[in-house]
Amino acid sequence: MTVGATDDAPSRRGPALATYAVLAALTAAEVAVAGAGGAARDRTTALAGLLLAKAGILLAFSLRGSPRRPGPRLALLALVVAVGFAVVLMLEAVYRAGLR
């Protein structure tokens, strides 16, 4: 191994550890929501939102969009927009269910 290879390893390890820590925290939140009392539609909406957040974080980490590579950035932007639309539709469904 060269000296340059060992110097880059900690810099690549930091974002991976942070990503795994955030994913573990979101998983703990999912377990807490699933075990909490309350209306089933509220729990389902919260679990779906947490799932979308986890998927977005995992994709953002996997694609590693950078200014030098516009392809992954555009794919990540499309996924973020799709998740945004999904969240709006879920919130609308919760609002409509609350009106009945």
| Domains contained in the chain, number | 1
Q: What residues contact 13, with CB distance under 8 A and at least 6 apart?
A: none
**pLDDT tens, position by position, 54-71:** 887 887 787 775 657 777
Phi/psi zone of residue 94: left (φ > 0), alpha (ψ -120 to 50 degrees), beta?
alpha
**pLDDT tens, position by position, 15-50:** 888 889 999 999 999 999 988 887 777 788 788 888
Quickly list DSSP for 1-62. Answer: --HHHHHHHHHHHHHHHHHHHHHHHHHHHHHHHHHS-S-HHHHHHHHHHHHHHHHHHHHHHH
pLDDT of residue 63: 74
pLDDT of residue 42: 79
| Domain range for 84 | 3-99
